[in-house]
Structure 1
């Protein structure tokens, strides 16, 4: 039967590692694009849109809907990238366990 003190120490160590990984994630960014690079975004690990760049050629006054779609696609791709980054970092610590209360 496992030693309860050892299990508690391991749990505290994992908790500390998770907190460190979350703090590290906050300072990281993910770049994403859509429309063949005509719309580029940077999303922070805090799930905040940091920047957006739009190629002037993407701005067609007769087709604003396409530009809007490219922006949405790029931002969503950025958010997915952050989620994947978080899952990799957290999964490396938890061994793939789904821990309640963890954001990813």
Structure 2
């Protein structure tokens, strides 16, 4: 392959392929990582994978009040949103290990 300005294109292509392979493996491993958040002083607990898939939601029976459905909805939303933030941080840290901190499109 031609050498463009001192760059070995074949070597660069190989490195890119290696990073893609490692990134794909990392994406799979994120499914095994689980983060947990709570809201309402532990009344609602959400577990989410590093791949941002909800694994479990627990709701304390004390917070289930048919007369105050809105409060329960707010607690669930708060816990899910916090769990998503944590999962994204975990994914970013894992991806940085693979890419050396370089942001890759779509990853």
TM-score by length of 1: 0.85
What is the SS of the residue equivalent to 1:53?
Answer: strand
Measure, in 2, the Cα distance between the counterparts of 1:97 and 1:70: 36
Identify which of 80, 94, 97 aligns with 1:75. 80
- Give unpaired runs (5+ residues) of structure 1: none
- Give unpaired runs (5+ residues) of structure 2: 1-5
Identify which of 29, 33, 39 aligns with 1:34. 39
Range that drifts further, 66-75 or 86-95: 86-95
Superposition map of 1:1-104 within 5 A: 1-102=6-107
Measure, in 2, the Cα distance between the counterparts of 1:47 and 1:8: 30
Measure, in 2, the Cα distance between the counterparts of 1:48 and 1:94: 23
CA-based RMSD of the aligned residues comes to 1.6
Q: Based on CA coordinates, which of the two structures has the bigger radius of gyration?
A: 2
Q: How far has the Cα of 1:88 moved from its partner?
A: 0.7
TM-score by length of 2: 0.83
